[in-house]
Amino acid sequence: MTLTSLDAGALRSVMQGFSEALSSHREVLNLLNVYPVPDGDTGTNMYMTVESVVSGLDALEDGSDMVAVTGAISHGSLMGARGNSGVILSQILRGLMEVMSGTGSSDGVVDGRMLADGMASASTAAYAAVMRPVEGTILTVVRESSAAALSSADEGRDLLAVAEAARTAGGDALERTPELLPVLAEAGVVDAGGSGFLLLLDALLTAVDGRALPEPPEVSGPVSGSVGDSHPSGQDGTRYEVMYFLDAADDDVPGFKEAWDSLGDSIVVVGGDGIWNCHVHTDDIGAAIEAGIAVGRPHRIRVTDLYEEVEEQTWVRKHIEDDGPTDPVDCAVVAVANGDGLRQIFRSLGVRRVVLGGQSMNPSTTDLLEAVEAVPADEVVILPNNGNIIPVAEQVNSQTTKNVRVVPTRGVTEGFASLLEYDPCGTADGNATAMAAAASAVVAGEVTVAVRDAGSEAGVISEGDHLGLSGGKVRVIADSLFTATTGLFDTVVTDEHELVTLIEGADADEATTAAIVSWLEAEHPDLEVETHVGGQPLYPYYLGIE
């Protein structure tokens, strides 16, 4: 039977269908994503945003009215939004719900007229949320869908006709996105965010007349190369994605947006009534956070290195390793690491939970909070083992009744060294002090491969160069893994050092490792050398010198 209006129960069904559609299309949407920075996670971010909505709806009692349902959708989308695409989607949903929550009808239902007005509100809200709107994106698809819906409603058409008009116009707009956005034309794809939005209209039509949700199409992805590795011209100037919730007075937000406008791009700030979900791509993480502090309280901060990020969908469902010891202790340690070998080493040193993350993937405050709540202790120490994760970890203490302290480890070798001072019978404060002192005594380094041309204090970097890094700076530029690693050792090792720890990544090989160890024995015979298999991606070697 075809519905002539949506009640609260039908609206819940729409969101459940939308979640199911995004789940099945997630990988396709990730492959399509090439804008504004090719981090390959549009499908994942949209899915997780809607999953938060569905979780909020599931918490409602059966038979909840339209006000309760629309409120849960608005709140869930704001609080669960991830990434640029997720934040824009949240504003679209909030614009829709703002109209639907005030249906004005005695039975609280949404007809064709109300749907059209809601879509117009959604389009307006989406454009208002973006600092510099770009056509050829989800914004275009929403706008043209809403225009068609309004035209159909003005003709007195019913709910089904309005929904079909919106879906047809949106599909046409999606097909034209490459004409409006050169980066899409170059990659041979349509806009990922717009594709995801159309699934909302598909779910609406499923609820209205029972048609099946569309199956995901066959998509080969951008023709110009890997989504996660390519950097279109003009888009490689902002490396980091910074997201957080901001408690701030509504009147202060325009000034906050202006401050962010000078720091980066892809700016989206949505919310109201004192709570805002904020997203920016920038090179200056500290300034982006300080802008929020200037007007209010940033919290649940999430920072992602867009140039090194690998597809989140392979790990987002498995943040926490659950095979650690479960016997209670006075003080437990939670560590962040990526690589089977690294996780095994951390567990052997007494870590109770390992959160998957590191240089190639940054966990959120929620991920770390889940691990803290899971460990069998009221006192907890977190080892971020990455500079980008430290500010995220520092938000956890305010979100739990446990006493949580962060040891600001910027690499796994610092984390290993800190654990030599870990006392499971101690307090979080005592352990944090002792462990931080041990970590600070380590000179940490990393060896990786440049993903783009750049300048540095060490000289000009070309894509494909091997780089030796320490202290957050490029110290060595070389044409081989061996030369970069030994050159880094030459730069940082002094006569006072006694121990070198070399951790092999997934891209290291036994022959190179053996050659490096032989070189150390010849050039620094007084050093003790330890090697471990870490299995970390993107960084063939981590090293620590003590």
Mind listing the pLDDT tens digit for each residue in 212-261?
999 887 544 443 333 333 333 334 457 788 888 899 999 999 999 989 98
Angle between helices 412-419 and 428-440 (to 10 degrees): 120
Q: Could you give the CA distance from residue 247 to residue 446 in angstroms, rounded to a whole number?
A: 37
SS (H, E, C) 451-520: CCCEEECCEEECCCCEEEEECCEEEEEECCHHHHHHHHHHHHCCCCCCEEEEEECCCCCHHHHHHHHHHH
At 195-209, the pLDDT tens digits run 999 999 999 999 999
Beta bridge partners of 445: 470, 543
Do residues 539 and 337 make contact, with C-beta atoms less than 8 angstroms apart?
A: no
Hey, what long-range contacts does 418-424 have (CB within 8 A, 24 or more apart)? Answer: 418/383, 419/333, 419/346, 419/349, 419/350, 419/351, 419/383, 420/349, 422/333, 422/349, 422/350, 422/381, 423/331, 424/329, 424/330, 424/331, 424/332, 424/350
Cis peptide before 36 (omega within 30 of 0): yes
- Strand pairing category for 443-449 and 541-545: antiparallel
- Strand pairing category for 379-383 and 331-337: parallel
pLDDT at 92: 94
SS (H, E, C) 364-403: CHHHHHHHHHHCCCCEEEEECCCCCCHHHHCCCHHHCCCE
Q: Could you give the CA distance from residue 312 to residue 291 in angstroms, rounded to a whole number?
A: 28
- List, edge to edge, every strand of the sheet that includes 353-356: 353-356, 331-337, 379-383, 403-406
Q: Could you give the CA distance from residue 288 to residue 271 in angstroms, rounded to a whole number?
A: 18
Q: Could you give the CA distance from residue 33 to residue 241 in angstroms, rounded to a whole number?
A: 15
* N-to-C CA span, the chain: 73
Query: Cα angle vertex 140, ends 252, 310, to 5°?
Result: 75
DSSP state of 37: S
Closest CA to 391 of 322, 264, 288, 312: 288
pLDDT at 33: 63
Residue 71: how many CB atoms within 10 A of its CB? 16
Token readout for 369 is 């909070």
Beta bridge partners of 130: 268
At 431-465, the pLDDT tens digits run 999 999 999 988 888 898 887 777 778 888 888 88
pLDDT at 206: 95
What is the residue-wise DSSP string for 339-365? SHHHHHHHHHTT-SEEEE-BTTB---H
Q: Could you give the CA distance from residue 191 to residue 135 in angstroms, rounded to a whole number?
A: 10
Angle between helices 42-58 and 83-100 (to 10 degrees): 40
Q: Could you give the CA distance from residue 489 to residue 443 in angstroms, rounded to a whole number?
A: 10
Q: Could you give the CA distance from residue 22 to residue 42 in angstroms, rounded to a whole number?
A: 10
- Strand pairing category for 331-337 and 353-356: parallel
What is the residue-wise DSSP string for 110-169? B-HHHHHHHHHHHHHHHHHHBSS--TTSHHHHHHHHHHHHHHHHHTT--HHHHHHHHHHH
- Strand pairing category for 473-478 and 499-504: unpaired
Task: Compute the residue count for the chain.
Answer: 546
Average pLDDT by stretches of 10, the chain with 546 residues? 92 94 86 48 83 90 89 87 80 93 64 95 90 89 97 96 96 93 80 94 95 75 36 50 89 91 83 85 89 91 66 39 63 88 84 77 77 92 86 84 94 89 94 93 88 80 88 88 92 88 86 89 88 82 89
Q: Could you give the CA distance from residue 388 to residue 361 in angstroms, rounded to a whole number?
A: 10
Q: Could you give the CA distance from residue 333 to residue 431 in angstroms, rounded to a whole number?
A: 10
3-state helix, strand, coil in the chain (%, to 5): 45, 20, 35
Domains of the chain with CATH codes: 8-209 (1.25.40.340), 240-305 (3.30.70.1090), 321-440 (3.40.50.510), 443-545 (3.30.1180)
